[in-house]
Amino acid sequence: MSWATSTPSSRARTSASGSATTCDFWEGVRNLTEEKEPKTEQDAQAGWLRQRLTELGRLPLMPGVHLSEEIERLQSRLKKLQHESRRHDTWVTVEIARHKERPRTRDYIDRLIDGFEELKGDRLRADDSAIVGGLGWFRGRAVLVVGHQKGRTLDELTENNFGMANPEGYRKAQRLFKLAERHGLPVLTFVDTPGAYPGVAAEEGGQARAIAETMLRMARLTVPVIATIIGEGGSGGALALAVADRVLMFENATYSVITPEGCAAILWRDADFAPQAAEALRPTASQLLELMAVEQVVPEPRGGAHHNPELAAQRLGEAIEETLAELDQIPALERRRQRRERFRRLGQWSDPEQPPGSLSLFGGYSVPME
């Protein structure tokens, strides 16, 4: 049985079999802490409001007594509490994705890839340790692996620039993708970065172009490409390694166009609004599964992947193996066409002059006007 949750059909299949995830079913399984949390004051208030609404709904209609205003007031309070609860859940997921003990790319390489041989340098200027890549064997099959590497200790984080790659890192990834294409090797990427490094030196080195060319290189590959969001997936720095046939995502990982703090600083001029920004960005696995931005959600061990890295790696390995077998059934050129089509269909737009389902030159598809 596969541990991965996919969309749309297998998501329903997983739900029916009882294999729920925190991202999909908050009320069923809370996987955010090792021990069950005591009932909070917010939960108690919500329970009282529901009970009160039930009682009011059972009262018989009496002349001169109007309960509609009271019911609307209680419903409004309940909706506000639920909204705050969702905001809290989203922010907790962001914090778990950033946990310092969460498994990194090298941890998954050690557990999933045999005989890994790291390849360094962009053959132009330098090496960038924020992106690690090389050749190895995944369950008896030669593959190429590329991923962001954050580190765990302060020294490792500093050395790897907290997983924020410079242009040299993305040019190294391009070189490795070209190698995979030449030898017909499937590509596995692991995404874990708050974003590409935004420093002056990186911009002077051609950061934007390096990211764009990396995405273009991935879009042109004819070999199978599988990307996995293992922690943070932030901005173009993450997307540069995620132009894949299938995007997998751990249930407590995040994937968004900007960090919540960055979004809050732009919209509210205050990073303290990061939880509100996180809720608006909808960066969690279950939300992205509904938006079809990812294909599979890989359940994590209770408490998060850092509580049992071995089990997390095992589940990810099973998901990758199943996905790779699926992609092998698709001819190379058709697989590349479908990959490009996948990204063109992301997003929605409305145009009264275009029929629903029409593709835009800029990506996305038309939906009926409301």
Domain annotation covers residue 220: yes
* Residues β-bridged to residue 250: 298
Could you tell me whether strands 131-138 and 141-148 are parallel, antiparallel, or unpaired per DSSP bridges? antiparallel
Residue 6 in domain: no
* 223 in a structural domain: yes
- Over the range 52-88, which residues count as b (16 or more CB within 10 Å of their CB) and which as e? ebeeeeeeeeeeeeeeeeeeeebeebbeeeeeeeeee
Q: What angle, rounded to 10 degrees, do the helices at 68-97 and 274-281 form?
A: 90
Residue among 91, 82, 118 nearest 254 (CA)? 91
Domain that holds residue 133: 105-329
Reading the chain (370 residues) residue by residue, the pLDDT tens digits are 444 444 444 443 343 333 334 344 333 333 443 433 444 555 666 666 667 667 666 666 555 556 666 667 766 776 665 555 555 578 888 999 999 999 999 999 999 999 999 999 988 888 999 999 999 999 999 999 999 999 888 999 999 999 999 999 999 999 999 999 999 999 999 999 998 999 999 999 999 999 999 999 999 999 999 999 999 998 889 999 999 999 999 999 999 999 898 999 998 888 888 888 888 888 999 889 888 899 999 999 988 899 999 999 999 999 999 999 999 999 999 999 999 988 888 876 666 676 666 666 555 656 555 5
Domain presence at residue 202: yes
CATH of the domain at 246: 3.90.226.10
The pair of structure tokens assigned to 120 is: 């360094």
Q: Is residue 149 part of a domain?
A: yes
344 domain-assigned: no
* pTM given for the model: 0.74
Provide the number of structural domains found in the chain: 1
CB 254 within 8 A of CB 93: yes
- Give the closest residue to 142 by CA, choosing from 120, 118, 116: 116
Instruction: Examine residue 135 and state whether it is found in any structural domain, yes or no.
Output: yes
Q: How many residues are recorded in the chain?
A: 370
Q: Does 359 fall in a domain?
A: no
